Structure formats: C-alpha cells, structure tokens
Amino acid sequence: MSSLDTEIAVVGGGPAGLFAAISAAKNGSVTHLYESKSCIGKYEHCSGLLSIDGLNRLGLSDLPQEMVQNCSIIGSRLFSPSGINITVQKSSTTAWVVDRSKFNQHLSRLAEEKGVVIHTNSKVTSIKRDNNKIKLSLGKKSPIKNVTSPLLILAEGRFPHLNQQIGLPSPSYGEVVFTTQYIMSGVKNIDLKYVEVYQTPEFAPGFFAWIIPISEDEAKVGLGSRSRPTGKYLRHFITKHPIAKHKLSSASIEKQMSGAIPIGSFIRKTYTDNIMVVGDAAGQIKPTTGGGVILGGLAAIKAGEMAAEALQTGNYSARFLSNYEKYWKKEMRSNLTIMKLVRQYLNSLNEKELERLFELLSTQKRKEKISKIGDVDNQKKIVFKLLLDLRFLPFVAKTGVKFLIKTKRKKVI
Ligand SMILES: Cc1cc2nc3c(=O)[nH]c(=O)nc-3n(C[C@H](O)[C@H](O)[C@H](O)COP(=O)(O)OP(=O)(O)OC[C@H]3O[C@@H](n4cnc5c(N)ncnc54)[C@H](O)[C@@H]3O)c2cc1C
C-alpha cells in the first residue's frame, strides 16, 4: 500500500499525539497516527513525574500499577546553592512517578482500543496543502508513501520540523535546556515521599538538578542546563555537590537518557487551515519545571475534539480551528506566561541572591503557605500570593530591576 486517505492524521506518537488521536477517535473520526520510531515509547527521555490532579484531568485515574514506579510522592525538598532546605508538602499523595515508555505504550493501547491505526517506522517528511486537504509524504522506512487527510494534528515534540512548512512558528531553539538523566541504584538517604530539587547555578546553570526516588535506594537523577555537555554537569553534580554527593557518589548508573526541554513557553499561533499543533511542538510545557505531559495532553484532547467536530461540520477553516487555541489559551496562557517569567527571573539570580530568596521563603509561615497553595500545574496562584507578601518587597524590587535590565538585553536564558 503506498497511499492512504484518512479523516484525521496525527504526526507523533508521544503523549500529545496519542491523546489527540484517542480524543479524535472517541468522537467518531477515522484516525491514523504516524510515529517515526520503530515502536511507541521507544525512548524514555522523561522523568515521568505526573500530578494526580493532572492524571485525573486526563482521564487516567486508573493507570495500571505496573507502570507506576512511585505512588508515594507528597511533596518536594528544594535546596538552595548552600543547602538551605525548604520542604513543601501536601497531606496526601500529590504525584506519581511513571515509567514513561510504559505510559506511552499504555496510551497507544487505549488509542488502538478506540480504533486509532498506529503506523510506526513512519516519519512524516513533508506536508503540502492541496484542495482543502493536506498531503503528507512519508520517509523511506514506511510502507505508506503518501497520506491525504482534511485534518492534521502535529505533535512532533520539542524540535518540530513540520510547523514551519505550513507557516506556523516552532518553539525557539535558543530557549531550550538540555538534559541528562540517570536511573541510579544504591542511592542513599532518599525518601520515597519527596522529590529533591537543587536550584544551583554552579551545577545546573539555567535550570536545576533533581533526584526523584523510585524505590528506597533507586532514583531518577537528572539535570538540565542551558549549556552542554550536560552529562559532564551531571557527573559533577553527583560527585561534587555538597549534599547530593553523600547520596549519589557511591551509587551505580543503571540507565542513561538525554533530551531537551523548550522553556520559552508557547508558540504564537497553533492552528491554520486544516491543521493544529499540540504538545511540546506548541511549547505547551511548564518553563519552571519542564513538565509537559499534563498541559500538552489537555490541549491535545481539545485538538482531537475540535478535529472531530470540524469533520462533522465539514468546516476545516483556520477560523473554526481557532477555537482550539482559544480553549487552551484560556486554560493555561496566563500560567505559562508567569512560569516563563519565574524561570527567567530565577535564572537571573546569582548564588547570593538565590540564598537570600531561600532564606525569605524558609520561614514556617511561608513554607505552610506554599504547601497549602502551591500547585505544580497551576503555579500562578502561589507566585501572586508571595508577591503580595510585603517582606519580599525590598528583595523583589532590587533583583527585579536587575532582571528587567537583563531581559531587555535578552541575557536571561
Ligand atoms: C529529562 C526530561 C524530564 C522530563 N520530565 C518530565 C516530567 O517529570 N513530567 C512531565 O510532565 N514532563 C516531563 N518532561 C517533558 C515531557 O517529556 C514532554 O513534555 C512530553 O514528552 C511532550 O510530549 P509530546 O508528545 O509533545 O512530544 P514527545 O514526547 O517528544 O513525542 C513526539 C513524538 O513524535 C515523533 N516524531 C517527531 N517527528 C516526527 C515526524 N516527522 N514523523 C513521525 N513522528 C515524529 C517522535 O519520535 C516522538 O515519539 C521531561 C522532559 C525531559 C527531557
């Protein structure tokens, strides 16, 4: 078979593409998904830390336990460069750590149950518009060479190639953090209930380092940085960081992965005639933490619904599909914008200023406030609450001016 016609074509078999396909098929559309790799979930380039609330919103409250590596997370331990530790926590489980390969494979099973046809080894190399339809050309490995479809959802992930072919923007390459993550065994002194986050410009410039426990002595240990090689930064963190080295320096590396996170926030436009863009390819990812599964997934579900509705009404116009963007912008634009500012602001602080920030945050009252109001998927609430705290004012005023000057000179990320 070298040509195929479908009602909805989805490019990319990551979570965003899979959620979009599931939702389109659920709403009655013939949906085909194209994934360039030889299988879904081939590489696990993610920590798989997902909020319970987010999973519920994605309709995944009954995630099979075999893919859940840790279901005990109640909070985070945030470390300043010198080791001031702020613990923020809820009274019950707030997040699960999942095996991202198994998670993607689970989504692909759900998609197939809904009737989605998944084509692996199927890299989409180019797209063209032809008579109110989209024509996809596929790469050498694919038995299908061309696909024609009135509706297309693009979910290529962090470095999309197809967005620009139809005149849509891509996440800015200049605003990306590079990451390396190890799965380590023999890790000491970790607590299954807490994710550890190390905000330290010396070890992780432009982002942070993390230890995410998956058993009493195993953890996902990773680091994001705006410069490379991140493997070198991660080894430096493991062997030299004053706190982390006592937990990690005698641990063994079981698995290694690397990836990139676009932290420049959402792209300017995510739809055009016949086409919508979802997930990392649309910059639907939190610039503060790099979490993209929940937000990208929620937007993708809406894109799938809109595509199905467009088919039913025979209206594939940009005007009609703009409802997709209206939805996701209403849900997350202000949050993503604030998270981007927070990320840029944090990156503008030097070690001394970060220490001061941690000192200010580490009073009992503030820790309680952050624990109570903090929400990993909706961070604007806590940011506003803290900004209203008068004791922050002199610090924010001083560092804020410096931040504004740096932002003007584009020297923040
Ligand atoms: C180290 C690291 C840790 C992370 N930790 C977390 C976390 O704890 N929690 C969280 O929520 N998020 C996390 N993220 C972010 C998360 O991984 C992404 O936001 C998420 O995977 C985005 O999903 P996506 O479907 O948009 O893209 P992807 O998962 O990148 O999927 C895109 C898919 O499209 C395929 N593809 C690309 N181009 C084509 C093409 N032309 N034709 C066919 N197929 C194509 C790719 O092979 C890939 O399978 C992390 C990221 C990194 C790098």
What are 297-329's pLDDT values in tens digits? 999 999 999 999 999 999 999 999 999 999 999
Antiparallel, parallel or unpaired: β 146-149 and 3-5:
parallel
Ranges in the chain annotated CATH 3.50.50.60: 3-45+101-172+264-331
CATH superfamily ID and name for 71-96+176-256: D-Amino Acid Oxidase, subunit A, domain 2 (3.30.9.10)
Q: For residues 299-334, b (16+ Cβ closer than 10 Å) or e, as one string?
A: bbbbbbbbbbbbbeeeebeeebbbebbebbeebbee
Q: Tokens 């985070």 correspond to what residue?
A: 76
* Chunked mean pLDDT (size 10), the chain, 413 residues: 90 98 98 97 91 96 95 95 91 95 97 98 96 95 96 97 96 92 98 96 95 98 94 97 96 96 93 98 95 97 98 97 97 92 91 93 85 76 76 85 78 52
Residues 156-167 have pLDDT tens digits of 999 999 999 999
- Helices assigned H by DSSP within 177-268: 230-240, 244-248
d(CA 26, CA 12): 18
CA 393 to mean position of chain CA atoms: 31
CA neighbor of 373 nearest in space, from 51, 93, 88: 88
DSSP β-bridge partners for residue 255 = 183
Those residues with Cβ within 8 angstroms of residue 384's Cβ, 6 or more apart along the chain or in another chain: none
Q: Strand 95-98 relative to strand 49-51: parallel, antiparallel, unpaired?
A: antiparallel
**Local structure of residue 198 (DSSP, 8 states):** E
CATH fold, domain 3-45+101-172+264-331, is: FAD/NAD(P)-binding domain (3.50.50)
**What is the number of the ligand 1 atom nearest to the C-alpha of 54?**
11
pTM of structure: 0.94
49 CB near ligand 1 (under 6 Å): yes
Q: Where in the chain is the domain with CATH 3.30.9.10?
A: 71-96+176-256
Q: Is the CB of 194 under 6 A from ligand 1?
A: no
**Range list of β-strands (E), 52-175:** 68-73, 75-79, 85-89, 95-98, 117-119, 124-130, 133-138, 146-149, 151-154
Exposure letters 28-55 (e unless 16+ CB within 10 A, then b):
ebbbbbbbbeeebbeebbbbbbbbbebb
Q: What angle do CA 166, 169, 175 make, to 5 degrees?
A: 150
CA of 220 from ligand 1 middle (Å) equals 17
Centre a 10 Å sphere on the Cβ of residue 7 and count the other Cβ atoms it contains. 18
Of ligand 1's atoms, which has the minimum distance to the CA of residue 222? 1
Q: Which mutation among 53, 102, 156, 298 tests ligand 1's pocket best, with the greatest number of atoms within 8 A of CB? A: 156
Q: Is the CB of 285 under 6 A from ligand 1?
A: yes
Among 68, 41, 280, 321, which Cα is nearest to 159's?
280
Report CA(250)–ligand 1 centroid distance (Å): 31
